[in-house]
Structure 1
Amino acid sequence: MGLIAGFLMPVLSANTLVLMSPFDWVRAPYKLMQSISKYHGTLAWLPNFSYNFCAQKIRERDMAGVDLSGLRVLTNCSEPVKWESHQAFYEKFKNYGLREETLNCSYAMAENVFGVTQTPPGTLPKVDEIDREAYINQRVAREPLAGKAVLKMMSSGRALPNTRIRIFDEKGKELPDRVIGEIALQSDCMLTAYYNRPDATEKALRDGWYLTGDYGYSLDGEIFVSGRKKDMIIVGGKNVYPQDLESLAYEVPGIHAGRAVAFGIEDEKAGTEEVVIVAEVDSDDEMERQHIADALRRHVSQNSVIALRHVHLVGPKWIVKTSSGKTARSANREKFLQELTA
């Protein structure tokens, strides 16, 4: 996404390109808004995490004179997209000229050079309200039942004109709408092989389809992305997706969106994995931290198939992010294990 859309495309089309170091942005996120205003930016791409980060961290005093009305498309990409993140971002910046229909979503990858789906410009991303329990425990996106908890899933858009998408189960059978499986694609611009990696090529390509390693579901041509296959945690034979647990964590008072990470650690005695949730909190008060940890355990245990035991509350900036702002799940797991054995 960054190389193709954020560098080569504007260079080849002779459009003005403004680059900003992600490290500078993290230290001073308001500079992004000031740059969009100063250079009359029309297109930008951000991971979902940054929508929450900007909404939480940018102060009104740093937005003096900022005008975002020139933005045509601000695309949420690079990780599963959240409706709540869009709402927080829009509410924060709507008074500075930001139009709600500017906020689009995309699903993209280098293997398809680069786009797969996109919200049609000028429209709002589709939102699907589903039964949270069925989604987490049964892996189906069923319409909510009366009195049941609801989860709002936001679409990553529709397939681009040159791309076809299917959802497969583990045996390669195509799945119908609203059933979660692995996203597969076929296009005239996708990879033919991984360079000098015949093993990876054999795993990724099946009968002309590229298996993305991402889970999701389809609905009326819209694609809803759930998370990465490699991030899945297996607890007592049950598949648990860390993104689902993180979403539950964000519902607990004291834990902010984008500031929690879930992963699995091996329990040799039990012969399975145990789930760990690390969450950043602002409070240093031990009693308040204990209250947040207990609330997190209860909320996750009541709304998922696991009984959460391992909660690790930390201070701000503990969680490791990639250079693009995404949560580095494996790096956070290693950091946790190092602290555990120190």
Structure 2
Amino acid sequence: MLNTLLFMLILFAIDFIFAITHSLQYVYSGSSGIPNLPEFMTVGLVDGEPFTYYDSNIRREVPRQEWVTKAVDPDYWDQQTQISMRTEPTFRTNIEVAKQRFNQTGGIHTVQRMYGCEWDDETGATGGYDLDGYDGSDFTALDFKTMTYVAPVQQAFISAQKWNNDRALLERFKAYQTQICIEWLKKYVSYGKSTLERTVRPEVSLLQKDPSSPVTCHATGFFPKGIVVTWQKDGEDMHSDVEVGETLPNGDGTFQITSKLMVKPEDWKMNSYSCVVQHKSLQDDIAVLLEEKNIRTNQGGISWDIIIGWVSSALRFAKSI
């Protein structure tokens, strides 16, 4: 289940390090009470790469990758614009309905919807998902084995029951996920091959806010998404005192990930600790030895705050909750 659906695009693909798994994802995001942010946004992603975008300010579906213009008909953008424009009012209504169910009035609130499909071009295996979130927490999810929606919170039971009783909706989405989505994914992968199959090396840094804080290994700027970041002590992988974060998108189409080492300074100064990164772009693993000279801190006014890239994306089927 997803815990931070708005920001985690994640959520969105299988993270085996070198798996040949492609994904097509859409997420709609509606919000209220957030200054300078469009109330409604959509983004489509192929293999985690944004390729189409719409928001309630520009009111136009636009390409985010050059290759997608070759993969679609000229009227595609008008069609997608109309779909997104028709979806806007649904999300505004969904926020108000959710606020009533949670006994809320003003404040900042978000409703998200994410769906998509995955395809392994080696085995031919496919999969999919359909997820809804409210204020960054799980709201509903579709179980594709039983083709029924499940609700992790009481406030979502009404919505799950409503959709489960709509057999036409379920059959339409099943057909989309198992046929249409896969067909479009294969088409997009074919046209975007040079972009989607490129490799970009990660940049790896060791970061620490102050001498008593955990040491963070930060790998960023890499593509594709699959990566393994581990901590080693005296050459052996560590399975405790380590906290690995989600793999998150940067704004330029690459990805980033962090892994925290939670040991006392006197410990790592007396032993040999290293952050080891494995990625498809690397002939040899990157290993950064944990030494004071290799650590970037904010001492002396140097700021190393990690800006988490996020993408808010969109879906082609709107549902009233």
TM-score, normalising length from structure 2?
Answer: 0.29
TM-score, normalising length from structure 1?
Answer: 0.28
Give the helix-richer structure, 1 or 2: 1
Q: Which has the larger radius of gyration?
A: 2
Give the strand-richer structure, 1 or 2: 2
